[in-house]
């Protein structure tokens, strides 16, 4: 199968990989581009330890300035595709290996490769480098601006819904129910929430924390005019329809 660079997978590489898939004895297959073809350039057998224990052996077969691909069997019998393109490699070599990568995995079966690593130095392919890669995969993905906005709206809705349940919630609302941290000042304000009070809440996006902006004593009719006009905020207001009745919070 030819790549966009015009370089294809050799029958020898296809055979080598098929044999490795059907046995447990091969840990790494090194692949290089030679004579406009992707060919095997050595293999490393599976050791007595785990995947991380075998990684140091790659240091012996990789060159500091020459790109290569590594087909690696992981401990769960899946395959990891490693694209090794050193920063110090020739520009033409970088371009050729970059343009041939997709066709190589497609020819061998994209579904076989459960993960991939793009390494620019041998240090990326040490046990420590692989652990850093795994931590990166496990880390929460950063939210987009729209996702952050939606999460803030959901947090405020949950807080309002919890507060509506009554005075008992004012003791627990400072906990984890809103899905965000609460400042001590906001917690105090909500624990002492009384009819006729307006609590205005802002969000610190860097700390993912709800903050108390201010509290006001206002009538229900005056609430719209008491809300901030120049910046976004959430507000909770408590009122009782008649004296002695349970307060409403909205």
Q: Parse the chain into domains and list their residue ranges.
A: 8-138, 181-238
| pLDDT digits 0-9 by tens, 104-127 | 999 999 999 999 999 999 999 999
Residue that wins the pLDDT comparison between 211 and 142 = 211
Q: Is the pLDDT of residue 250 over 60?
A: no
Whether 210 contacts 183, CB under 8 Å: yes
Mean per-residue pLDDT over the chain, rounded: 82
Name 161's Cβ contacts closer than 8 Å, sequence gap at least 6.
none
DSSP 116-139: EEEESSGGGGSHHHHHHHHHHHHS
pLDDT at 184: 82
pLDDT at 159: 56
Q: How confident is the model at residue 177 (pLDDT cuts 50, 70, 90)?
A: very low
Name 66's Cβ contacts closer than 8 Å, sequence gap at least 6.
32, 86, 89, 93
Write down how long the chain is.
250
Q: CA 114 to CA 110: how far, in whole Å?
A: 8
pLDDT at 185: 85
DSSP state of 141: P
Q: CA 196 to CA 249: how far, in whole Å?
A: 10
DSSP H or E run through 140:
none
Residue 212: phi and psi, rounded to 5, are -80, 120
Domain 8-138 has CATH 3.30.70.260: no
Q: How confident is the model at residue 229 (pLDDT cuts 50, 70, 90)?
A: confident
pLDDT at 70: 98
Q: CA 66 to CA 94: how far, in whole Å?
A: 9
pLDDT at 137: 82
Lookup: tokens for 211: 């903050």
Q: How confident is the model at residue 174 (pLDDT cuts 50, 70, 90)?
A: very low
């Amino acid at each position: 199968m030819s790549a966009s660079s015009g370089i294809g997978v050799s029958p020898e590489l296809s055979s080598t990989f098929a044999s490795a898939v059907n046995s447990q004895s091969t840990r790494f297959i090194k692949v290089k581009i030679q004579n406009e073809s992707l060919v095997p350039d050595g293999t490393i057998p599976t050791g007595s330890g785990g995947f991380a224990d075998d990684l140091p052996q790659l240091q012996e077969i990789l060159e500091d300035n020459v790109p290569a691909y590594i087909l690696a069997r992981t401990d769960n019998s899946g395959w990891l595709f490693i694209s090794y393109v050193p920063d110090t490699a020739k520009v033409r070599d970088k371009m050729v290996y970059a343009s041939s990568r997709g066709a190589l995995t497609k020819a061998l079966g994209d579904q076989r490769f459960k993960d991939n690593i793009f390494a620019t130095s041998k240090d990326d392919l040490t046990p420590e480098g692989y652990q850093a890669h795994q931590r990166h995969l496990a880390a929460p993905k950063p939210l987009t601006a729209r996702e952050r906005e939606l999460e803030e709206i959901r947090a405020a809705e949950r807080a309002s819904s919890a507060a509506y349940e009554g005075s008992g919630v004012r003791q627990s609302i400072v906990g984890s129910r809103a899905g965000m941290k609460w400042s001590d000042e906001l917690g105090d304000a909500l624990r002492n929430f009384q009819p006729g009070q307006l609590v205005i809440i802002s969000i610190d996006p860097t700390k993912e924390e709800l903050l108390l902006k201010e509290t006001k004593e206002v009538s229900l009719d005056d609430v719209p005019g008491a809300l901030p006009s120049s910046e976004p905020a959430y507000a909770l207001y408590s009122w009782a329809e008649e004296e002695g009745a349970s307060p409403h919070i909205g």
